[in-house]
Amino acid sequence: MEPKDRPKDQKDTLQSLATIREHARKLREGSGIPVVESCARWCECYTRIAQWSLGETDRFDFLEEVATEPVPKVKQRIATLEPIPTIERKEPAMEPVYAAKPKPVMSNGNGKKPRWGMAIDLKRCVGCQSCTLACKMENGTPPDVFWMRVMEKEEGKFPAARTVFMPLRCNHCAEPPCVPVCPTGASYVRDKDNLVLIDQNKCIGCRACVVACPYQVRFIAESGRGYYGDRKTPYEATSYQKWQPRTAMKCTFCVHRIDEGLQPACVQTCPTRALVFGDLNDTGSEISQMVRSRVRAQPRAELGTDPSLFYLS
């Protein structure tokens, strides 16, 4: 490749600097030029090449010339070069970790309010626990409280044995048995969609909802202690402020993210896209199409709770 055809990139620049060092070594060893003058020549060339790393000057031709000229001619040669062009370097725009999506509208074209649901593709889940960690970090739940869990089960016999992973979470049922048993109305279904939520200010910790839930996905933190006892980390001191000790808590489908038009943290984090979230009342949504086209099962559907969660196989 001819010097003029070489790309003006970082690799090319490094090769140029290596050539300068080699010329300087030869000058010191065989040309009789004093070391001081040789180093001066090398420094001038080095500076010039570094400044011209993104310019249009043919660096290699210039190096071949200056390596065979005396020091005064080198200085004269450098002085006659055209001014160094000004280069504006723009840093690439950084995208947020969670890329925002358009806020969901209340109307999905059929006059029904959204029914948020989740489909879990058991063929894609590898049991990496990324969803568990994402949920823990996003919601800042107390010790021993995991709104999202991944259970493991071994099936078959050797040599055809395999491990099946099954994520568990609140199903946000259409007929939630935990809501009518609450004596204070702390457990409720949000009016604008189907999300089953808990009002911490109304909860008295009677555990009626915990007993009524057939999926065992409601939790009560007995104390406000952190993972290191009474001395909390800065993260715990901030995140635990929204939870009151001895009150019920559970998965909310990351309601704060849904209201901002974002996916739940577990869905955003899943590396295999085993979790699909969307509006079940929207026939054109990805989750509706997957539920219709795949073999599916709702957890304990025989209880009549109509969960908003589907396991796909």
pLDDT in tens, the chain (313 residues): 444 444 454 445 455 556 656 655 555 555 444 444 444 555 555 455 444 443 444 444 544 554 555 556 655 665 665 554 554 545 445 444 444 444 444 445 567 889 999 999 999 999 999 999 999 999 988 888 999 999 998 888 888 888 889 999 999 999 999 999 999 999 999 998 999 999 989 999 999 999 999 999 999 988 778 888 888 888 888 888 888 888 999 999 999 999 999 999 999 999 999 999 999 999 889 999 999 999 999 999 999 999 999 999 8
How far, in Å, CA of 122 to CA of 248, rounded? Answer: 29
- In contact, 255 and 264? CB cutoff 8 Å: no
Tell which residue, 16, 41, 19, 15, has the closest CA to residue 28.
41
Tokens of 188: 């409720």
How far, in Å, CA of 296 to CA of 313, rounded? Answer: 6
User: Does residue 159 have a cis peptide bond before it, meaning omega lies within 30 degrees of 0?
Assistant: yes
Q: What pLDDT score does 228 carry?
A: 84
CB atoms within 10 A of CB 133: 15
The Cβ-side half-sphere exposure at 200, using a 13 Å CA radius, reads 14
Q: What pLDDT score does 107 carry?
A: 46
- In contact, 189 and 195? CB cutoff 8 Å: yes
How far, in Å, CA of 55 to CA of 79, rounded? Answer: 17
CA distances from 198 to 47, 186, 216, 219, 309 (A): 66, 5, 16, 11, 19
- In contact, 284 and 278? CB cutoff 8 Å: no
- In contact, 45 and 19? CB cutoff 8 Å: no
Residue with tokens 């003029």: 4
CB atoms within 10 A of CB 176: 23
In the chain, the N- to C-terminal Cα span, in Å, equals 56
Q: How many residues does the chain have?
A: 313
Q: What pLDDT score does 112 carry?
A: 80
Tokens of 100: 């925002």
What are the DSSP calls for 122-183, one per residue? TTT-----HHHHHHHHHHTPPTT--SSEEEEEEES-TTS-EEEEEEE-----SS-TTTTT-S
Q: What pLDDT score does 48 carry?
A: 52
∠292-294-296 over CA atoms, to 5°? Answer: 90
According to DSSP, the residues that pair with 168 across neighbouring strands are 149
pTM: 0.63
Tell which residue, 172, 151, 148, has the closest CA to residue 270.
148
How far, in Å, CA of 170 to CA of 147, rounded? Answer: 7
According to DSSP, the residues that pair with 142 across neighbouring strands are none
Mapped onto helix, strand or coil, the DSSP state of residue 116 is strand
- In contact, 51 and 82? CB cutoff 8 Å: no
Q: What pLDDT score does 173 carry?
A: 94
